[in-house]
Structure 1
Amino acid sequence: MDLQISVFLLFILFTAGQSRNCYQCTSLSSSCDQATCPDGFSNCLGATLDVVNFTKVTVKTCAPLVCPSGSINLGIGKISSYCCNTDLCNTQDAPGPSNSTNGKSCYYCDDKSCSNTVSCSGPEDRCIKATGNFGSQSLVVKGCVSKSICDATSFIPNVEGISCCEGNLCNGAQSVTQSFLFLCCSLLSYFMMH
């Protein structure tokens, strides 16, 4: 009988620690709620998306085991994020992307070409190029990125070709159609839906 009670108590202790509690909200909502994360989500995330001359959105949510902290600057917008792995650790908004340049520069795409250059800032020590298809349209995004996000790019859904490189302007200047929102939605959906 004592063995059964001991096994039961051990089971309760080990299963109780499996669920993570995180704040969940966007800056579009009035408040953040506490939520128990689904299976496979062992981190909390805070992210800030800042589209130049348009809008700034903050997000707090549960995140999967692979959850990079860092920033990405696509010239026409920036995303910064942080991950943490204790209950309700995502109380703060993600810091806005750093404005202090670090001497690196990369190509980025706007609606006309991919030959524009952007100065990298803060931890953005690499250039990124991502390609994908949205319906029948081929899309490419380019910009600056931190190493931690490059290391996790294989986990981003709906984007086939992601490559990171070191060195100024190493991500090429070929002109192609692109969509900043396509990559942003892919990045955020990865964190919120997986």
Structure 2
Amino acid sequence: MHLFTLVLGIWLLPKVDTLTCYECVPGLSGSCMTIKQCPTADHQCGAMRVLTYAGVSKLSDIQGNTCILAQECITGSVNYGVLKTMLTSKCCNSDRCNSQPAPDASQSFPNGKKCFTCEGETCTKTVNCEGTEDHCIKTTVAVGGNKMTVKGCASKTICTTASNPQLSGVVGAEINCCQGDFCNSASSASAGLLLLVGPLISLVLFS
């Protein structure tokens, strides 16, 4: 009888509460004060931002708030020379704690590391890595049946997240990172991908 009472008591215990977070979907107009119940206890409240620059010109500034897993809460950048995308996230563990936007990480400075980058169809140019960009990166993406390759600098967090099946599935990319100056080797590559990289990363983060 005691065992039955114990089992019944456990069965009747309420489910673990999950957080409620503010949700704002990028690209949709309206208030960011919509409240969402997170699906699992593993989710945190998060604010995310993706800034993309072509030289000194800002191409896009995409922001969003929602429930997010800890491994998706990343901050870092990928720098292909003429195109740079910066990702920032701010996560927290209390109800509706994500009312503030993620910080603007557009201010960064050269850190001394150098990698190869591509210009036109050659990849013998040098890009000076900035901020937390401590790896060289080579990315191959299938676009319209053709494989295109770009090279540059990336933060460790970008390289670690690149192994996520979700990223590979959406971008369709072969992403290789390495440490050491110019370790991403100089070889020919296809032009034309540069303006696609930022939107693809944005799609991954906010899908």
Of residues 141-150 and 42-51 in structure 1, the stretch that sits farther from structure 2 once superposed is 42-51
1:89 lines up with 2:98 in the alignment: yes
**One of 96, 108, 117 as aligned partner of 1:108:** 117
- Segments of structure 2 that go 5 or more residues without pairing to the other structure are none
Amino acid at match of 1:98: Q
1:109 to 1:94, Cα distance in 2 relative to 1, 3 A: farther
Q: In 2 relative to 1, CA 132–102 (structure 1 residues): closer, same or farther, beyond 3 Å?
A: same
State the Cα distance separating 1:106 from its structure 2 match: 1.4
Q: Which residue of 1 aligns with 2:138?
A: 129
Q: How is 1:138-153 mapped onto 2 (pairs within 5 angstroms)?
A: 138-153=147-162
1:165 is aligned to 2:172: no
Matches within 5 A, 1:16-27: 16-17=17-18, 19-26=19-26
Identity within the alignment, %: 25
Distance 1:170 1:112 in 2: 19
TM-score by length of 2: 0.74
Q: Which 5+ residue runs of structure 1 have no aligned equivalent?
A: none
1:69 and 2:78 aligned: no
Distance 1:22 1:168, change over 3 A: farther
| CA offset digits 1:19-55 (Å, max 9, x no partner) | 5524424488565343426647824241232222252
Change (3 A) 1:71 1:118: same
SS in 2 for 1:124: coil
1:192–1:129 Cα change, 3 Å? same
Structure ID, larger Rg: 2
Distance of aligned partners of 1:50 and 1:90 in 2 relative to their CA distance in 1, 3 Å threshold: farther
| RMSD between superposed Cα atoms in Å | 3.0
After superposing on structure 2, the runs of 4+ consecutive aligned residues of structure 1 that deviate more than 3 Å are 2-8, 25-31, 37-41, 61-65, 110-113
